[in-house]
Copies of this chain bind each other. A is one copy, B any other.
């Protein structure tokens, strides 16, 4: 899925990229189809040649964003070996992604409720996929003797929630320059060692 990386020049991708920018900047309701068309450098009618409605445009843009996000993850986690390093890498990638693609991240963070059940379901499925992935990692860590025994479902959700929460802080506060390594070490420290003295 390279539709959103800026290199594709076909109309559909142009529109998707413009949609990502405008929806991110204004949210679904305040974004106007006309503005997206303008931003994409095409006529208003052209948007409807490729997408049957504003809603579908949002849906497709949203899917593209999510796919792009997941794609990046999958690609860059392939090489890691130790579970701890993989978990750490998830945090690194998440924070880097947010720093580099704060527009898209904004959408993933904010527009969940906008579009109705279908897309919401799709998004939850994708989220559950991520959590399942983390669960597998943790389970693997337990099996390998790296991690102690625990409820992996809860652990995965806690880890995921924590990463999202810290990432959200970066988005919300518009922080661009953060010491990713330091934050990762701290988060990993918390998860590995706990907070008890």
Contact = CB atoms under 8 A, between A and B. Distances in A.
Interface of A: 27, 29, 109-114, 124, 138, 141, 145-148, 150-151, 154-155, 157-166, 168-169, 172, 183, 186-187, 189-197
Given A110-B112, A110-B113, A193-B194, A157 B166 contact: yes
A65 to B, nearest CB: 15
A193 to B, nearest CB: 4
Contacts of A110: 112-113
A27 B119 CA distance: 15
A154 B187 contact: yes
Given A111-B113, A162-B165, A165-B162, A154 B190 contact: yes
7 contacts: A124-B172, A146-B196, A146-B197, A147-B197, A158-B162, A191-B195, A193-B196
- Residue picked from A141, A145, A163, A169, most chain B C-beta under 10 Å: A169
A110 B165 CA distance: 15
A interface, over-half SS: helix
A186 B183 CA distance: 24
Contact of A165 (B150, B161, B197): B161
Nearest to A166: B157
A197 B189 CA distance: 13
Given A161-B161, A162-B165, A186-B150, A27 B193 contact: no
A113 B186 CA distance: 29
